[in-house]
Amino acid sequence: MSFFEGNKMTAGYGNGPDIINSCTIKVDRGEIVAILGPNGAGKSTAMKAMLGLLNLKSGSVVIDGQEISKLSPQDRVKKGISFVPQTKNVFAELTVRENLEVGAFLREDDVNKVIEEIYNLFPILKEKSSQVVGQLSGGQRQQVALGRALMIKPSILMLDEPTAGVSPIVMDELFQHIIKVKETNVGIIMVEQNAKQALSISNRGYVLVTGENKFEGSGDELLNDPEVRRSFLGG
């Protein structure tokens, strides 16, 4: 039994066909899990199903032993599940600090302490705290997005392609940040296109094909599995 589980999830958009079929994703606190697979495999859909952005036809989502399949995304956020979408994941017209404050909207206690922690994690944000996020670089924006999601002190962080559209150097930097987040005892699920790099920092990985679990294993196992290499990692 893992801390956060999506068990045998089947779901699709509206009345359309099922995008994911009996798909299972599990993550524990302090662990990074990568969801990989070709385009259209249902990677993002699996994540959105776990967040409640689309309804399950069957299967369940469980956090810390508690069934949350029927909860709205907002209520799941209150359970400590935070999500960073792939696009439009920051408030571009607000300052860095305001982004963090909005991230902590549900918190009743003193926000300043949490903001200090985020600043320690991402020092650049402290430097740019009063700058409007729309004026920041892509890599800095992603840090704002991560910081905003961390403001509720989540136990689970879900990242939809965190390194999409950033340069390789910035990608490495972002992965370092993601490792730092993991070390604060947060469970991380991420969908990634950069499969090799993602697996190199992941504890485990799932490879989805047409909405079903095809392979799973530790990062090293998947990286060294000849079939996975041939089909998904480009030899």
Partner 1 sequence: MELLNALILLLNYTIVPAITYGSQLALGAIFVTLIYGVLRFANFATGDMMSFGTMFAVLLTYYFQSIGIGLGILPTALLTIPFAIIAMILYMLFIDNFVFKYYRVKKSAPVQLAMVSVGVMFVTQAIIRIIIGPFDRRFLDGEKFILKASEFKEMTGLNEGLTIKSTQAITVVVTIILVSILFWFLNKTKTGTSMRAYSDNEDLALLSGIDPKRVVMITWIIAGFLATVGGVLYGLDKSYKPFVYFNNMLPIFAAAIVGGIGNPFGAFLGGYVIAFAEIFVTYAYKKFFTYLLPESLEPDSLVQLLSTDYKFAVSFSILVIVLLFRPSGIFEGKKI
Q: Which stretch binds partner 1 (CB under 8 A): 13-21, 74-82, 186-194, 214-222?
A: 74-82
Positive/negative CA dihedral, 22, 72, 117, 84: positive
By the rule CB under 8 A, 74 interacts with partner 1: yes
Q: Report helix, strand or coil for 160.
A: strand
Farthest-apart Cα atoms in the chain, separation: 51
Closest distance of CB 234 from partner 1, Å: 33
Q: Over the range 4-22, which residues count as b (16 or more CB within 10 Å of their CB) and which as e?
A: bbbbebbbbeeeeebbbbe
Closest distance of CB 56 from partner 1, Å: 19
Query: Binding to partner 1 (CB under 8 A): which residues in 97-126?
Result: 98, 101-103, 105-106
Cα–Cα distance measured from residue 163 to residue 171, given in angstroms and rounded to the nearest whole number: 6
DSSP tag of 5: E
Query: Binding to partner 1 (CB under 8 A): which residues in 143-202?
Result: 148, 152
Report in angstroms the alpha-carbon separations of 59 from 1, 44, 46, 83, 220.
Answer: 15, 17, 12, 21, 29
By the rule CB under 8 A, 89 interacts with partner 1: yes
By the rule CB under 8 A, 132 interacts with partner 1: yes
Q: Minimal CA–CA distance to 197: which of 216, 172, 179?
A: 172
Q: Which of 54, 92, 170, 233 binds partner 1 (CB under 8 A)?
A: 92
By the rule CB under 8 A, 13 interacts with partner 1: no
Decide whether 19 or 90 has the Cβ nearer to partner 1: 90
Where along the sequence are the contacts to partner 1 (CB under 8 A)?
Answer: 73-74, 77-78, 83, 85, 88-94, 98, 101-103, 105-106, 132, 148, 152
